[in-house]
Amino acid sequence: MKSVMNDKQVMTEENAVSRSGHAGGRLKHDLSGFLWKLEGCLPGRGMEQKFPEINHDHMGDMLDWSHAHVPGDVFTDLWRIGRIEDPHYARNSLKAKWVNEYEWWYMRHFNVPPEMEGKRIEVTFEGVDYACDVFVNGTPMGSHEGMFTAFSFDITDLVSFEQLARGRNLLAVRLHPAPRRYSRVAGRKPAWHGDYWTSVVPSGIWKPVYLEAYDEARIEDIYVKTSVQDDGSADVVLEIEVLHHGKTERTVDVVVAVQGENVRTEEVEISVQQTLQSGRNMFRISVRIEDAKLWYPWDLGEQNLYTASVCLKEYGKPLDAREQLFGIRELEMKMNPGFTEDEVEYPWTLMINGKRHFIRSGTWGGPPDIFFGRATDEKYEELIRLAKAANMNNLRIFGWHPTEIPYFYELCNREGITVWQDILPIASLSLPEEEAYKEAIFSDAVDVVKQLRNHPCMVIIEGGEEILMSASDPAHNLQLMNELGEVVKPYTDLHYIPVSPLSDDVGVSLGFKPKESVHANGLFYGEGRNTIERYYRKLDFAAVPELAISSCPNVESIKKFIPEEELWPPGPSWGHHWTDFDVFRTLNFEVLGTQATGGLQEFVEATQITQGVHFQYALEFFRRRKPKTSALCICHYITFAPDMKWGVVDYYQQPKRSYEYLRLAYQPLLISLDYEKRRWLPGEDFEGRLWVVNDRYEPFHGCKAKVCFRSSGCEDVFVEEVELGEIKPDSSAEFATVRCKVPGKLGDRFHIEVEMTDAAGAVVSENKYLLLVADERVDLPRLKEIGAEAITRKVKFGNCNYLRYFDGLNHTPGVETADEKMPTVKEFVYEK
Could you report the per-residue pLDDT of 74-92, keeping only the tens digit for each?
Answer: 999 999 999 999 999 999 9
Give yes or no for residue 652 having a pLDDT over 60. Answer: yes
Distance CA 308, CA 456 (A): 14
Give me the sheet containing 669-674, strands edge to edge. Answer: 669-674, 685-694, 731-741
Return the pLDDT at 750: 92
Q: Name the phi and psi angles at 199, rounded to 5.
A: -120, -95
pLDDT-derived band at 618, boundaries 50, 70, 90: very high
| 642, part of any domain | yes
Q: CB–CB of 468/507 below 8 Å? A: yes
Give yes or no for residue 815 having a pLDDT over 90. Answer: no
Pairing of β 700-711 and β 66-70: unpaired
Give yes or no for residue 825 having a pLDDT over 90. Answer: no
Return the pLDDT at 831: 44
Q: Which amino acid is at 705?
A: A
Return the pLDDT at 18: 65
Return the pLDDT at 790: 84
Same domain for 207 and 81: yes
Distance CA 629, CA 798 (A): 37
Same domain for 498 and 636: yes
Q: CB–CB of 549/617 below 8 Å? A: no
pLDDT digits (tens, 9 = 90+) for 505-520: 999 999 999 999 999 9
Same domain for 370 and 319: no
Give yes or no for residue 711 having a pLDDT over 90. Answer: no
Q: Give the CATH number of the domain where residue 94 resides.
A: 2.60.120.260
Give yes or no for residue 467 having a pLDDT over 50. Answer: yes
Comparing 795 with 283, the larger pLDDT belongs to 283
Same domain for 412 and 459: yes
Give yes or no for residue 678 having a pLDDT over 50. Answer: yes
Same domain for 655 and 677: no
Return the pLDDT at 723: 95
Average pLDDT over residues 155-180: 96
Q: Name the phi and psi angles at 368, rounded to 5.
A: -55, -20
Return the pLDDT at 6: 36
Return the pLDDT at 716: 67
Same domain for 229 and 189: no
Q: Give the CATH number of the domain where residue 543 resides.
A: 3.20.20.80
User: Which of 666, 701, 725 is the last residue before a domain boundary?
Assistant: 666
Return the pLDDT at 662: 98
pLDDT digits (tens, 9 = 90+) for 572-604: 999 999 999 999 999 999 999 999 999 999 999
- 3-state SS class at 234: strand
Same domain for 433 and 372: yes
Q: Name the phi and psi angles at 115, rounded to 5.
A: -60, -20
Give yes or no for residue 808 having a pLDDT over 80. Answer: no
pLDDT digits (tens, 9 = 90+) for 399-418: 999 999 999 999 999 999 99
**Beta pairing partners, 109:** 170
Sequence-separated (6 or more) residues with CB below 8 Å from residue 375: 366, 367, 368, 369, 405
Give yes or no for residue 40 having a pLDDT over 60. Answer: yes
Domain count, the chain: 4
Same domain for 288 and 200: no
CB atoms within 10 A of CB 224: 21
pLDDT digits (tens, 9 = 90+) for 422-434: 999 999 999 999 9
pLDDT-derived band at 826, boundaries 50, 70, 90: low
| 599, part of any domain | no
Give yes or no for residue 829 having a pLDDT over 60. Answer: no
pLDDT digits (tens, 9 = 90+) for 769-791: 999 999 999 999 999 999 888 88
Give yes or no for residue 5 having a pLDDT over 60. Answer: no
Which value, to the nearest 10 degrees, does the dihedral of the CA atoms of residues 85, 88, 93, 99 take? 60
| 783, part of any domain | no
Q: Give the CATH number of the domain where residue 738 resides.
A: 2.60.40.10
Q: Name the phi and psi angles at 600, rounded to 5.
A: -60, -55
| Ordered DSSP codes for 316-374 | TEEEEEEEEEE-B--EEEEPPTT--TTT--S--EEEETTEE--EEEEEEE-SS-SSGGG
- 3-state SS class at 506: helix
Q: What is the mean pLDDT of the chain?
A: 92
Return the pLDDT at 572: 92
Beta strands in 640-699 (DSSP E): 669-674, 679-680, 685-694
| 614, part of any domain | no
User: Which of 326, 345, 380 is the last residue before a domain boundary?
Assistant: 326
Return the pLDDT at 11: 33
Give yes or no for residue 821 having a pLDDT over 80. Answer: no
Same domain for 541 and 458: yes
| 388, part of any domain | yes
CA-wise closest residue to 25 among 324, 328, 322:
322
Domain that holds residue 684: 672-776
Same domain for 723 and 660: no
Distance CA 159, CA 660 (A): 57
Which spans in 1-88 are helix H?
A: 3-12, 45-48, 74-80
Average pLDDT over residues 461-487: 95
Question: What's 552's DSSP letter?
Answer: P
Return the pLDDT at 8: 33
Same domain for 493 and 552: yes
| 797, part of any domain | no
| 337, part of any domain | no
Range in 4-18, 644-658, 736-750 with the lowest mean pLDDT: 4-18
Give yes or no for residue 811 having a pLDDT over 90. Answer: no
| Ordered DSSP codes for 395-456 | EEE-TTSPPPPHHHHHHHHHHT-EEEEESS--BSSPPP--HHHHHHHHHHHHHHHHHHTT-T
Return the pLDDT at 810: 61
- The 3-class SS string of 131-196 reads EEEEEECCEEEEEEECCCCCEEEECCCCCCCCCCCCCCEEEEEEECCCCCCHHHHECCECCCCCCC
Which value, to the nearest 10 degrees, does the dihedral of the CA atoms of residues 366, 33, 452, 272 take? -170
Give yes or no for residue 813 having a pLDDT over 80. Answer: no
Which value, in Å, is the radius of gyration of the alpha carbons in the chain?
29
Average pLDDT over residues 674-703: 96
Give yes or no for residue 267 having a pLDDT over 70. Answer: yes
Q: CB–CB of 566/573 below 8 Å? A: yes
- 3-state SS class at 35: strand
| 801, part of any domain | no
User: Which of 735, 760, 776 is the last residue before a domain boundary?
Assistant: 776
Same domain for 763 and 649: no
Give yes or no for residue 732 having a pLDDT over 80. Answer: yes
